[in-house]
C-alpha cells in the first residue's frame, strides 16, 4: 500500500538531530527585525483624580501624553475604574484612548462599563481569558479588548447581544472589518494589533493567499518579505513565516524562521515561537487551507500528515484517513474536474506547486492510483498534448472530501 510515495516523512520531534542541523544552517533572519515595544501608557494616568490610586509607571522615562481628556472621558474612566480597576487600566491602553478621544469612544467606554457591571460569572471568565491573549508585559494593548470596543461604538450596537461571551474567533469575525482601510492599511499599526499567535494565525488564514515562489522574479527566493506580503496579500512560505515572526517579536515573543521540509529543507519554512518554555510552529504558508497546520506544538509537527488523521487511519486502516495531505489536495482538484481531463502542469499551476511537476507525476498520482481513489491516467492522443484522462472512485472520494476537506477554499475571497 503506497501512501507515502518515495518521500520519507519524519516528524520534527522524531528527527531531533536533523532539526537542529537545519535550524543552525538555515535559520532565516527576518528581513526586518521588529523592535520589542512596551505596553501603552494607560489614559487613566491623565485623569487627575485617579493618579494617586494607580500603580507607579514601570518606565518613568517615557513621557506621558499631555493632551487633556475631556470631562466626559474622565467621568467614563472613573466609572469603569470603580467597577474594575484592572479593566480600566487595560481599556486606557487602547489606541483609541492614546490621543484625542472621540464621542463614539466615550460611548463605547460607558457601554463597556455597563456590560462589566451586569456580566455573568461565565462572561467574566471569558473576558479574563480574552485579556490573557498575548504577553501582557510586552504587547502594546489587548487586541481582543479593542475588538469589543469596536463593536460597542457602532450606531447599530444591539444591547441584547452578549458580546462578552463570544469566543475569540467569533469576536474577530464580528469586529475585524478589513474593508475599513483606516484601521487596516498601515503596516506598523496592524502588526502592533497582531500581538499574539492566535491573532497572527487568524489574520493569515483570512487575508493571505499562497503563491509559489517562482511566480515572483526575486533576487533571493529564500528570503521572506513580510511587508510585501502585507501590501499584496499574496506570498509564499518565507513571506508567511517572516510576517509571523515580525509580529510576534514585536509583541515580546522569542521567534525564529526554521526549515521543516522532510527531504529538501529549504523548500518550506515556518515561524517558530516559544511560550512557557515550549516551542510551537505557525504554518500557514501552504498552497491551500487544507494543508495549513496553523499553530501546532513543534514535537507534533509533520508537514504532510495531521496527527488526528494518522491516529484514525492507523486504528481503522481506512484509506480516507491514511492518505497523505498533499496527495489529498491533488485528489480534490481531480474531483473538481467535471470532464475528468487535466494535466500535471494544470494541477501544479492550480495548487501553487510549480517546480513540483515531477513529484506530482511520480508520487502524487501513483499514490492515488495504488490506493484506489482514481484509475491510472491515460494520456490523450492529441499530438503535443500533456492532458490525461482518468476516472474516480466516487464513493471513496466523496467520503474523503466529507471527512477531511471541510475547510473554506479561500477565506480571503470575502474581502
In a domain, residue 272? The reply is yes
**Domain shared by 322 and 269, yes or no:** no
**Domain shared by 326 and 401, yes or no:** yes
Beta strand ranges found along 54-184 (DSSP E): none
Cβ neighbors of 2 (< 8 A, separation 6 or more) are 366, 367, 370, 371
The domain in which residue 375 lies consists of 315-414
Domain count, the chain: 3
**Domain shared by 223 and 200, yes or no:** yes
**Domain shared by 222 and 285, yes or no:** yes
**Domain shared by 214 and 144, yes or no:** no
**Domain shared by 150 and 228, yes or no:** no
**Domain shared by 259 and 357, yes or no:** no
Between CA 381 and CA 306 the distance in angstroms is 39
**Domain shared by 132 and 102, yes or no:** yes
CA distances from 286 to 28, 268, 356, 363 (A): 18, 9, 14, 19
**Domain shared by 270 and 237, yes or no:** yes
In a domain, residue 300? The reply is yes
Between CA 116 and CA 126 the distance in angstroms is 12
In a domain, residue 248? The reply is yes
Q: In what order do the strands lie in the sheet with 378-379?
A: 341-342, 388-389, 378-379
In a domain, residue 129? The reply is yes
Cβ neighbors of 239 (< 8 A, separation 6 or more) are 224, 225, 226, 228, 229, 285
Q: Give the 3-state secondary structure of residue 342.
A: strand
CATH classification at residue 355: 1.10.10.10
**Domain shared by 282 and 392, yes or no:** no
**Domain shared by 135 and 218, yes or no:** no
Select from 309, 290, 289 the least CA-distant residue to 300: 309
In a domain, residue 75? The reply is yes
Is residue 380 within 8 Å of 373, Cβ to Cβ? Answer: no
User: pTM for this one?
Assistant: 0.80
In a domain, residue 145? The reply is yes
**Domain shared by 262 and 213, yes or no:** yes
Last residue of a domain, one of 176, 206, 240: 176
Q: Give the 3-state secondary structure of residue 19.
A: helix
Per-residue pLDDT for the chain (415 aa), expressed as one digit of tens each? Answer: 333 233 333 334 434 334 443 443 344 444 456 666 789 999 999 999 998 999 988 766 565 666 788 999 999 999 999 999 999 999 999 999 998 899 999 999 999 999 999 999 999 999 999 999 999 999 999 999 999 999 999 998 888 888 999 999 999 999 999 999 999 999 999 999 999 999 999 999 889 988 765 544 454 556 778 999 999 998 889 999 999 999 999 999 999 999 998 777 788 899 999 999 999 999 998 876 667 778 989 988 887 777 778 888 888 899 999 998 889 989 989 999 999 999 999 998 887 677 789 999 999 999 999 999 999 999 998 877 899 999 999 999 999 988 887 654 433 333 2
CATH classification at residue 200: 3.10.620.30
In a domain, residue 324? The reply is yes
Between CA 301 and CA 311 the distance in angstroms is 14
Last residue of a domain, one of 151, 176, 201: 176
Select from 362, 354, 252, 254 the least CA-distant residue to 2: 362
CA 206 to chain centre: 8
Last residue of a domain, one of 146, 176, 206: 176
Residues in the chain: 415
In a domain, residue 183? The reply is no
Amino acid at each position: 500500500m503506497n501512501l507515502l510515495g518515495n518521500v520519507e516523512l519524519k516528524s520534527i520531534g522524531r528527527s531531533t538531530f536533523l532539526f537542529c542541523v537545519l535550524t543552525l544552517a538555515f535559520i532565516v533572519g527576518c528581513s526586518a527585525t521588529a523592535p520589542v515595544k512596551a505596553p501603552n501608557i494607560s489614559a487613566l494616568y491623565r485623569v487627575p483624580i485617579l493618579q494617586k490610586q494607580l500603580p507607579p509607571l514601570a518606565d518613568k522615562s517615557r513621557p506621558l501624553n499631555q493632551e487633556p481628556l475631556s470631562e466626559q472621558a474622565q467621568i467614563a474612566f472613573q466609572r469603569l475604574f470603580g467597577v474594575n480597576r484592572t479593566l480600566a487600566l487595560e481599556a486606557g491602553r487602547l489606541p483609541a484612548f492614546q490621543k484625542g478621544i472621540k464621542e463614539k469612544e466615550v460611548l463605547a467606554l460607558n457601554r463597556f462599563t455597563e456590560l462589566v457591571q451586569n456580566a455573568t460569572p461565565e462572561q467574566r471568565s471569558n473576558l479574563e481569558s480574552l485579556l490573557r491573549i498575548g504577553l501582557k508585559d510586552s504587547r502594546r494593548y489587548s487586541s481582543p479588548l479593542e475588538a469589543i470596543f469596536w463593536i460597542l461604538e457602532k450606531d447599530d450596537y444591539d444591547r441584547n447581544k452578549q458580546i462578552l461571551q463570544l469566543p475569540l474567533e467569533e469576536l474577530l469575525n464580528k469586529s475585524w472589518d478589513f474593508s475599513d482601510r483606516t484601521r487596516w492599511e498601515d503596516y506598523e499599526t496592524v502588526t502592533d494589533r497582531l500581538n499574539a499567535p492566535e491573532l497572527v494565525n487568524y489574520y493569515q488564514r483570512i487575508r493571505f493567499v499562497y503563491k509559489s515562489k517562482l511566480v515572483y522574479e526575486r533576487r533571493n527566493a529564500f528570503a521572506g518579505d513580510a511587508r510585501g506580503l502585507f501590501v499584496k496579500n499574496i506570498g509564499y512560505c518565507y513571506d508567511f513565516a517572516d510576517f509571523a515572526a515580525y509580529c510576534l517579536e514585536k509583541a515580546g515573543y522569542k521567534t525564529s524562521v526554521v526549515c521543516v521540509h522532510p527531504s529538501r529543507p529549504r523548500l518550506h519554512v515556518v515561524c517558530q515561537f516559544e511560550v512557557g518554555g515550549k516551542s510551537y510552529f505557525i504554518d500557514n504558508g501552504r498552497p491551500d487551507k487544507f494543508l495549513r497546520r496553523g499553530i501546532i506544538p513543534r514535537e507534533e509537527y509533520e508537514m504532510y500528515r495531521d496527527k488526528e488523521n494518522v491516529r484514525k487511519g492507523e486504528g481503522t486502516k481506512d484509506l480516507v484517513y491514511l492518505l497523505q495531505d498533499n496527495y489529498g489536495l491533488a485528489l480534490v482538484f481531480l474531483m473538481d474536474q467535471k470532464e475528468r481531463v487535466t494535466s500535471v502542469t494544470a494541477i501544479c499551476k492550480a495548487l501553487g506547486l510549480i517546480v513540483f511537476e515531477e513529484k506530482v507525476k511520480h508520487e502524487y498520482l501513483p499514490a492515488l492510483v495504488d490506493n484506489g481513489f482514481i484509475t491510472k491516467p491515460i494520456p490523450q492522443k492529441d499530438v503535443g498534448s500533456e492532458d490525461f484522462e482518468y476516472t474516480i472512485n466516487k464513493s471513496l472520494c466523496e467520503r474523503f472530501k466529507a471527512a477531511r476537506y471541510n475547510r473554506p477554499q479561500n477565506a480571503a475571497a470575502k474581502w
